Amino acid sequence: MRQSLIQWFKFASPQSFYPLAGRMIPWFWAAAAIFGISGLWISFFVAPTDAQQGEGYRIIFVHVPASWMSMFIYLVMAFWAGLGLALNTRVSAMMAQSLAPTGALMAALSLWTGALWGKPMWGAWWVWDARLTSELILFFLYLGFMALQAAIDDPRRADKAGAILALVGVVNIPIIYFSVKWWNTLHQGSTINLNKAPSMAQTMLWGMLLMALAFWMYSIAVALMRVRAIILERERHTEWVKHAVE
Amino acid sequence: MNAFFATVRRDLLLAMRRKSEVLTAVFFFVIVTSLFPLGIGPEPVLLKKIAPGILWVAALLATLLGLPRLFAADHVDGTLEQMALSPSPLGLLVAGKILAHWLLCGLPLVLLAPVLGLQFDLDASALGILTLALLLGTPLLSLIGAIGAALTLGVRGGGVLLALLILPLYIPALIFGAGAVEAHIAGLEVGGHLSLLAAMLVLAAFFAPWATTAALRIALE
Amino acid sequence: MQWNSVGEFFAMGGYALYVWGSFGACALLMIAEPFLAKRRLSEVRRSLIRERLADELETQQRTQ
């Protein structure tokens, strides 16, 4: 037990995490490719045409995974940031920093694909639906986190300030979501009910799950790539970094 | 508790010496709300419909205007460091500063709102609900804003960054605050909106000074 | 399989713009992001290697 605990703390140092991340990246890319190809196969060739929405519904195979990942990444980011704040582990703070752009990308993709889905289905690129609005706010939260970290020169202070912001954001996300939902029901007249979506066929669900797994693996791989760059940038004056790059 | 009231008193006294800073937010609120009818047109039905949203958004932006100065002066002259080193808990002093900020920036807005609401053809009971909602909502704005002010203390581009950090977090207050007045105008029950605002205020009053203190300690390191 | 021809597949039952707009944007951004991350890493590595070479040169000159 103690042995394994020591093992974990060992990887919390940038020096040992840097090569470990490098070794893990190809595996996550491979997993992302496998899940992605099978997911795409199901979404384009196995899943049947939807009776109501025709072929347009195939957008959900990227829209739903992107939305899921955008929310999930914020939680993971807040977790790493909080861990970094509590235990003062540098790598977890760096991990939080490297996850933020990927999370923002997922939120942007979710908004973009949502607009492209909304146009043919509802006749509008954007409706003030509860889910769309909360996704937009989540995107702003990511931008705020990234802007705050970019504005603070001292990386240690940037880590801690970002952690507090991420934790405040996590507390607020459910409140924001429910308030937006309530606001939406109050103004029901102009909005469209999203819950009328057709019952999902088993194959569609499988396609969506595989695509979500692919997005997940992609996010890990790209975050690890970025965290390696961040480690080298931050630790550039240490002795081990000088030997790590040959 | 003495330290708390001393901080409130000190901040109020300081603000009284520099009246222009306090008045900026108030004038901003008055001017912005008066500009909307000029931009939209004098039609009473439309103005009545958009009044709660406009008054609330204007109150939100006016609060934001004063936030960068919440800790800045004390940070520059070293008072904040003395506060952090003082025997009374920093959280208490921070809570005092937040209360002072609300008394200076939030309370004038609450008192002015019914007068400005008249411009939008709101009737007496709607004005009452508006004032009540702002009374519950503006302290919430000050509390959440203080976290952002502490996080962006001494950071370059602080003012714009503060807006980016804080405005998304203001959304629930805006929704329920403006929603209460809208619901009242539509003839619906407003108790739910106001109790949710009060619940958020209690939650923020408990957590925000704590988070602000943590952020200030980071800025002082 | 519900596609009779390649053209039908790309037409997406009239939803081509929306479906390919979504999948295309995902593909584009998800190729660009790793590329940018990779470039960031190699830029740091390059500058670190340059730094080390400069250090080595300096020590060589000092010993000479």
What average pLDDT does this structure show over B174-194? 87
Q: Which residue has the tokens 């709607």?
A: B126
**Separation in Å, CA of B40 to nearest CA in chain A:** 21
Residue A54: pLDDT above 80? Answer: no
Q: Do A225 and C38 touch (CB under 8 A)?
A: yes
By the CB < 8 Å criterion, does A174 face chain B?
no
**Strand, coil or helix: A54:** strand
Choose between B156 and B197: higher pLDDT.
B197
Distance CA A219, CA A104 (A): 11
Average pLDDT estimate for B190-205:
90
Region A119-125: what's the mean pLDDT?
A: 81
As for how many domains chain C has, the answer is 1
Q: What are phi and psi of A54, to 5 degrees?
A: 65, -140
**Domain limits for position C35:** 6-63
Identify residues of C whose CB sits under 8 angstroms from chain A CBs.
1-3, 9, 12-15, 17-19, 21-23, 25-26, 29-30, 33-34, 37-38, 40-41, 43-45, 48-49, 51-52
pLDDT at B62: 92
Of C18, C33, C41, the CB nearest to A56: C18
User: What burial class does residue A125 get, using C-beta atoms within 10 Å of its C-beta: 0-12 exposed, 13-18 middle, 19+ buried?
Assistant: exposed
C-alpha C41/C-alpha C34 separation (Å) is: 10
**Cβ C11 vs Cβ C3: under 8 Å:** no
Nearest CB to A161 within list B157, B172, B218: B218
Of A49, A59, A228, the CB nearest to C2: A49
Taking only the tens place, the pLDDT of each residue in A154-191 is: 888 899 999 999 999 998 888 888 888 777 776 554 44
For A224, the token pair is 């690890």
What ipTM does this complex have? 0.86
User: Residue A196 above 50 pLDDT?
Assistant: no
Q: Is the pLDDT of residue A195 over 70?
A: no
Distance from CA of A210 to the nearest CA of C (A): 15
Q: Is residue C12 part of a domain?
A: yes
Query: Bigger pLDDT: B89 or A219?
Result: A219
Measured between CA atoms, the residue of chain C closest to residue A215 is: C30
Top-confidence residue, C10 or A235: A235
Angle (CA) B208-B213-B218 rounded to 5° is 130
At A12, the pLDDT band (50, 70, 90 cuts) reads confident
Q: Which of A117-121, A187-191, B157-161 has the lowest mean pLDDT?
A: A187-191
Residues B99-143 pLDDT 10s: 999 998 899 999 999 999 888 888 888 899 999 999 999 999 999
Asked whether the predicted pLDDT for residue B87 surpasses 80, the reply is yes
Could you tell me which of A136, A104, A108, A132 has the C-alpha nearest to residue A119? A132
More confident residue, B47 or C11: B47
Query: Percentage of residues in chain A with pLDDT exceeding 90?
Result: 42
- According to the 3-state scheme, what is the secondary structure of A180-211? HHHHHHHCHHHCCCHHHCCCCCHHHHHHHHHH
Asked if residue C18 is part of any domain, the answer here is: yes
> Does C1 reside within a domain?
no
Facing residue for A54 by CB, picked from C13, C25, C49: C13
Which neighbouring-strand residues pair with A50?
A54
Cross-chain residue pair C30–A218, CB shorter than 8 Å: yes
Q: Are A80 and A95 contacting, i.e. CB atoms less than 8 angstroms apart?
A: yes
Residue A2 confidence (pLDDT) above 80: no
B49 against A186, higher pLDDT: B49
Give the whole-number percent of chain C exceeding pLDDT 70. Answer: 98
Task: Indicate whether A203 pLDDT > 60.
Answer: yes
- Nearest-CA distance from A25 to chain C in Å? 11
Cross-chain Cβ contact B172/A175 below 8 Å? yes
**pLDDT at position C39:** 93
pLDDT value at position A193?
Answer: 45
pLDDT at A187: 59
User: Using a CB-CB distance cutoff of 8 angstroms, which residues of chain A are in contact with residue C5?
Assistant: none
Separation between Cα atoms, residue A85 and residue B206, nearest integer Å: 20
Query: With b meaning 16 or more CB within 10 Å and e meaning fewer, what string describes A76-93?
Result: bbbbbbbbbbeeebbbbb
Annotated domain spans of chain A: 23-46+56-189+207-244
